[in-house]
Structure 1
Amino acid sequence: MDQYCILGRIGEGAHGIVFKAKHVETGEIVALKKVALRRLEDGFPNQALREIKALQEMEDNQYVVQLKAVFPHGGGFVLAFEFMLSDLAEVVRHAQRPLAQAQVKSYLQMLLKGVAFCHANNIVHRELTELPDYNKISFKEQVPMPLEEVLPDVSPQALDLLGQFLLYPPHQRIAASKALLHQYFFTAPLPAHPSELPIPQR
């Protein structure tokens, strides 16, 4: 940790606390994720090892955060990530008014490009797969409410894409790479340019 100067706390991510920091020698701003091991005798968690290995092996992509370094610290380890000015949750939380359709399209497009890139590298995003085992849950049968009644103000293209995301069983759902070619992204309003997107500063 001596090579970094902590500038402040960003928040808590999965498995650890995240700090904004500056590399003492290079001046590079990074996000440090400190992960504590529950019991030292258990060693490095397999799940963490898989995630680190996957991030290290992936080539740079502007839609996937870059892992810059991993090193031990105290009773755990630290991951040094590329620093992001914001995340989507912060954008929505700090928005003065609802996001414009073009902005929503742009954010969804970026998200899908990141997921498609991971899938192309045989990586499934963990937080998108932590769902209940629906085979073990019983539901009271009821007639589904049409999406156009739930979301009366969205375009037919948006409803169609959303419907393809929600298909059951899961293997029938549209893949991220195919979703990027959906008419939703090619009808007005077109996805906003990144310069037109709100970015809360951390």
Structure 2
Amino acid sequence: MQIFLSLLALMGVHMLAVASPGPGFISVIQTAVRNPRRIMFMHVFGLGLASAVWACSAIFGLQAIMVKMAGLYRAMQLAGGLYLMWIGFKSWRYANVPLPPPAGGGTELTVPQAIWRGFSTNIANPKVMVFYVSIFTAVLRPNMPGWVRALAVCITIFDNMALYGTLGSLIGTPKAQAGYLRMKSRIDRAAGTVMLGFGAKLVWSARRA
């Protein structure tokens, strides 16, 4: 039961994070409004590939640290908690700031270009791995088996591709864009509240360890 609740918590907090605007989120919007749906899905696939690389690096590197260096793991708990709280603070602070307008020209991307643009957007941002380390540290316990960690990686990949794919499918219409913009501040504040809560929990756990 504990494993199920931990994975459910991981899915929930990660979905909120993906739904809050960042480089990947904005790149999906820019691609969706300028390209056919199939190109947008290839872009989302590229984002998912990069997320898989970062998530695997985070969770399996973290497992080694848990086993061999307990002191460093506690330090990572503290740093990860502070980082999540910082993300939460920024989400609240900028909740009412509008999204930037689409950048770049209007030339349609090819499939390889779309995949590469998605992949490079996430792989060039090491904060993605810091985020995954923070989330995995907050949700997963050191004694959880390897298959749970592998499933956690699969959940994050699914979250990325499902939410970004849905966003890209819907956001291409002016009505959907207007609806999202009306909800943006609420989405950002909800995500910020969850991040602040998880961050505080992680800092408290690190201090008690």
Provide the TM-score with structure 2 as the length reference.
Answer: 0.26
Provide the TM-score with structure 1 as the length reference.
Answer: 0.26
Greater strand fraction, Structure 1 or Structure 2: 1
Greater helix fraction, Structure 1 or Structure 2: 2
